[in-house]
Amino acid sequence: APSWRGSCGNGRTARNPKCCVWYDVLEDIQQNLFEGGQCDQEAHESLRLTFHDAIAFSPNLTRHGQFGGGGADGSIMAFAQIETATIANTGVDEIVELQRPFALKHNVSFGDFIQFAGAVGLSNCVGAPRLQFLAGRSNISQPAPDGLIPEPKDSVDSILTRMADAGFNAAETVDLLISHTVAGQEHIDTTVVGTPLDSTPSTFDAQFFVETLLNGTAFPGTGPHFGEAESPLAGELRLQSDFVLARDPRTACEWQSFVTNRDLMALKFQIVMAKLAVVGQNPFKLTDCSEVIPNPPAAPRTSASRTSPQARLSRISNTRAPSRRSRASALTLARPRPLPASLFPRNSRVVRAATVIRSLC
């Protein structure tokens, strides 16, 4: 148990001297990876990378005498040429190559660095929870086997089976997909690079869960592509996997629960990310350096935004500003179900076309 409480230099203190190095990493990546602390594309990709490293862990393969992957062990960075060549990891090589020099420069393990960068990147997003960060993962790993990362074309059965193998039940799988509130795509439809998965990709809010429940009406680019479903808003892309998970009886209730409870959503993400970050690791051998993770900017306590999602999206695509800190629509509405019509602005064409699933829970 750490009794040391001391200076890390520059007026910074930590409970454990092992945490000091992370202040240097923090300063460096906020300036030089996240453009001065933005919830930008690098922040989004860093969050995605935490998943792609960690989820490659399969007790099922191990039971069959094969190597099942080491989980959150940094293998995706150590063996990037092998791991990022797979279909599920399309595009992940970019953030791995951007991150690696920082890990080498500060002499921290790849597994630690990936989880740290994900937590710091998320802390730049308005309304995000502050994630736990444990340090001390070994830097020795083996290449993870292919086939362990869910793909957007996969069925709910296949996704839930894979996630269960790695230790996550159906509700926790939905909790992990809260990440898609700060997300875009570049590799599903390459003609509309940067298309977000919800109308507020720089804000950690419930828009993703609202918008994935609307009726899809069109593709944002030249779709359909493999793993893509029709989206309800121009300039937004919907993954097929998000479409089916939002509507499956095993996952729909957890999905809908977030629409009217942003705080619950933030809490569940914090909890499930703490679990994801130590897949394949012994958390009791790691050191808690969470104090280094910055406090994210708070979400404004407003009722549902009056601005229509479509208007927000048009602004995003017109300006291409990486992180216009749009006002969060904190969905603090009283009744949990059915989804209140007031969430959807009446004068929007989108909304007239939208039918919200009301019967699954």
- Residue 7 CB contacts under 8 Å (≥ 6 apart), including other chains: 13
Q: How far is CA 148 from CA 54, 156, 163, 234, in A?
A: 10, 15, 9, 32
* Nearer CB in complex with ligand HEM: 14/189: 189
Structure tokens given for 218: 């069109």
Cβ neighbours of 190 (radius 10 Å): 12
**What is d(CA 327, CA 307) in angstroms, rounded to the nearest whole number?**
9
Determine if residue 58 is labeled as part of a ligand binding site.
no
User: Is the peptide bond between 224 and the residue preceding it cis, with omega within 30 degrees of 0?
Assistant: yes
Q: Is 8 helix (H, G, I), strand (E, B) or coil?
A: strand
**What is d(CA 271, CA 279) in angstroms, rounded to the nearest whole number?**
13
Closest by Cα among 233, 238, 80 to 152: 238
262 binds, among Ca ion, ligand HEM, none (CB under 5 to 8 A by kind): none
Spatial contact of 178 and 258, defined as CB atoms under 8 Å apart: yes
**What is d(CA 123, CA 121) in angstroms, rounded to the nearest whole number?**
5
Which of 22, 38, 48, 131 binds ligand HEM (CB under 6 A)? It is 48
* Binding of ligand HEM by 188 (CB under 6 A): yes
Q: How far is CA 345 from CA 225, 316, 334, in A?
A: 30, 19, 18
Sign of torsion over alpha carbons 253, 259, 261, 264: positive
Cβ neighbours of 85 (radius 10 Å): 12
Residue in 52, 64, 187, 225 annotated catalytic = 52
Residues 318 to 347 in contact with ligand HEM, rule: CB under 6 A: none
* Binding of Ca ion by 198 (CB under 5 A): yes
202 binds, among Ca ion, ligand HEM, none (CB under 5 to 8 A by kind): none
* Nearer CB in complex with ligand HEM: 44/268: 44
* Nearer CB in complex with ligand HEM: 148/354: 148
Residues 58 to 97 in contact with ligand HEM, rule: CB under 6 A: 91
Residues 148 to 187 in contact with Ca ion, rule: CB under 5 A: 181
Give the binding range for ligand HEM (CB under 6 A) out of 67-75, 124-132, 146-154, 247-255.
Answer: 146-154
Q: Min. distance of Cβ 258 from ligand HEM in angstroms?
A: 15
* Nearer CB in complex with Ca ion: 52/262: 262
Determine if residue 198 is labeled as part of a ligand binding site.
yes
Question: Given its phi and psi angles, is residue 69 left (phi above 0), alpha (psi -120 to 50 degrees) or beta?
Answer: left
* Nearer CB in complex with Ca ion: 84/203: 203
Determine if residue 75 is labeled as part of a ligand binding site.
yes
Determine if residue 225 is labeled as part of a ligand binding site.
no
Determine if residue 205 is labeled as part of a ligand binding site.
yes
Determine if residue 154 is labeled as part of a ligand binding site.
no
Determine if residue 53 is labeled as part of a ligand binding site.
yes
* Binding of ligand HEM by 177 (CB under 6 A): yes
**What is d(CA 190, CA 123) in angstroms, rounded to the nearest whole number?**
28
* Nearer CB in complex with Ca ion: 53/198: 198
329 binds, among ligand HEM, Ca ion, none (CB under 5 to 8 A by kind): none
Which of 124, 185, 256, 305 binds ligand HEM (CB under 6 A)? It is 185
* Binding of ligand HEM by 239 (CB under 6 A): yes
Q: Is 303 helix (H, G, I), strand (E, B) or coil?
A: coil
Closest by Cα among 220, 30, 240 to 121: 30
Q: Is 52 a catalytic residue?
A: yes
Q: Min. distance of Cβ 340 from ligand HEM in angstroms?
A: 28
The contact set with ligand HEM (CB under 6 A) reads 41, 44-45, 47-48, 50-51, 91, 150-152, 159, 176-177, 179-180, 182-188, 227, 239, 241
Which residues are at the interface with Ca ion (CB under 5 A)? Answer: 181, 198, 200, 203, 205, 207
User: Which of the residues are catalytic?
Assistant: 52
Binding site residues for Ca(2+), as ranges?
53, 71, 73, 75, 181, 198, 200, 205
Residue stretches of the annotated binding site for heme b? 180
